[in-house]
Amino acid sequence: MGPVNETEISEFYLLGISEEPELQPFLFGLFLSMYLVTITGNLLIILATLSDAHLHTPMYFFLSNLSFADICLSCTIIPKMLVNIQLQSGVITYAGCLTQMSFFILFIGLDDILLTVMAYDRFVAICHPLHYTVIMNPRLCVLLVLGSWIIIVLNALLQSLVVLQLSFCAPLEIPHFFCEYNQMVQLACSDTFLNEIVMYFAAALLGGGPFIGIIFSYSKIVSSVRAISSALGRFKAFSTCASHLSVVLLFYCTSIGVYVSSFSMPSAYASAQASVMYTVVTPMLNPFIYSLRNKELKGALKRILGGRA
């Protein structure tokens, strides 16, 4: 089949996560439930941090931004997925596919960088507690979030622009439930060398860089916690970053699992099914992880829901 110029492309076809017709009603109900839980849970986190003065701290400021990114990530992917399941059609327009890909790159990257910023916040809180309020001042917190947005927006624009230069080969079927960058590049008939360079550079810079930053922060945190003489003191110090560490492990383990499963399982749906973990499950679980052992946050949520703190 010959190449189709990008200006002539009208639509792609998303294959979803399963071709079994009898599974579609179950999948629709499952992902609708997960979507509603994700939106509700993360909205409650944002409302709690805004309404409770006790939560006007750097840690909860970054957490509310992470919740906003998770909401946007879910809204980028799941609604179109639900429509496709309900209509039993995976059709998505070329413009819609490119837009979805761009916003996915933006919000998944924002999640990654915000987790790094939060690791730095925990590093300062535990390793330099006497200087915490001076170092993590409101101006620096805003600059960290603003800088994260600028970096990720530029990355999303760059990756979208290089995809715009590609010509594609029919059939334009994407073995995924959303327009994933790598899957789109694999459909191209034209030279994808530039796309691969941009993709690997972004993965190294915006994937490896934050991961190294998180590892460095927690290595310093572990050293500081071990230096505390009392067992109770060590427990209290480490418990302040236990929720964040859980989210980091969930995010990176599921992300890495996607690529491992795509190589180990030959099914065309393997990568899509594995991607559910970090694109759908992780944003849903984040609010529960942060509120599970956090008394301040649980108290604020109870007040919002009309209960007693």
Would you mind telling me the total number of residues written for the chain in this entry?
309
Nearest in space to 275 (alpha carbons), one of 96, 31, 21: 31
Report the topology of domain 3-304: Rhopdopsin 7-helix transmembrane proteins (1.20.1070)
pLDDT of the residue at 274: 77
**pTM for this one?**
0.91
> CA 76, CA 247: separation in Å to the nearest integer?
21
92 forms beta bridges with 12
pLDDT in tens, 85-142: 998 888 999 999 999 999 999 999 999 999 999 999 999 999 999 999 999 999 999 9
- Strand pairing class (3-4; 168-169): antiparallel
Nearest in space to 170 (alpha carbons), one of 23, 39, 8, 30 = 8
pLDDT at 225: 87
Contacts of 181 (CB under 8 A, 6+ apart): 101, 104, 105, 159, 163, 199
Q: Output the pLDDT for position 275.
A: 85
Whole-angstrom Cα distance, residue 296 to residue 188?
51
Do 117 and 288 contact (CB within 8 A), yes or no? no
Average pLDDT of 161-171?
Answer: 87
> Of the spans 142-146, 236-240, 301-305, which averages the highest pLDDT?
142-146
Write down the residue that tokens 């694999």 correspond to: 186
β-sheet with 11-14: strand ranges across: 91-93, 11-14, 173-174
Give the tens place of pLDDT for each residue, 242-275.
888 888 988 888 887 776 665 555 565 667 777 8
